[in-house]
Amino acid sequence: MVHLSSILPNFVGHRISSGELRYQLLESIGSGAYGVVYLAQDLTSPVSDPRFYAIKCLLRHPNDSDLAKSQEREINLHALSSHHPNVVTLHHVIVDEHYVYFVMDYYSGGDLFGAIMDKGVYVGNDTAVKKTFVQLIDAVEACHVQGIYHRDLKPENILCSANHHQVYLGDFGLASQTESSNTFGCGSSFYMSPECLGVITWRAPYSPRNSDVWSLGVILCNMLTGRNPWHVASPEDRGFAEFLRSGASFLRKALPISRSASRLLTRIFEPDPSVRYTLRELRVAIQAIDTFFPTPDPSNYPHPGPTSVPQLPQLPPADPSMENIILTAPVSIPVPPAAIVRPEPTVDIVVTPFVNQTPDCSPFDVLGAQCVPLLLSQHGSSRSGSPTESRGPPTPVSAVHNPVIVRMSDLVLSSQENTTKSRSSFSKQVLTLTSSGSKLVQRFVDVVNKVKIRT
Alpha-carbon span 104 to 39, nearest angstrom? 10
103 three-state secondary structure: strand
Laid out side by side, the sheet with 35-42 consists of 15-18, 21-31, 35-42, 51-59, 99-105, 90-95
- For residue 116, give the DSSP letter: H
With contact defined as beta carbons under 8 Å apart, do 360 and 185 qualify? no
56 annotated as ligand-binding: yes
DSSP annotation string for 129-152:
HHHHHHHHHHHHHHHHHTT-B---
Classify strands 338-339 and 227-228 as parallel, antiparallel or unpaired.
antiparallel
DSSP bridge pairs for 111: 159
Q: How many CB atoms within 10 Å of residue 315?
A: 19
Residues shown for the chain: 455
Please tell me whether the peptide bond between 343 and the residue prior to it is cis, using omega within 30 degrees of 0: no
360 is catalytic: no
Of residues 105, 111, 152, 237, which has the active-site annotation?
Answer: 152
Query: Catalytic residue numbers?
Result: 152
Known binding-site residue numbers for ATP:
56
**Binding site: residue ranges?**
56
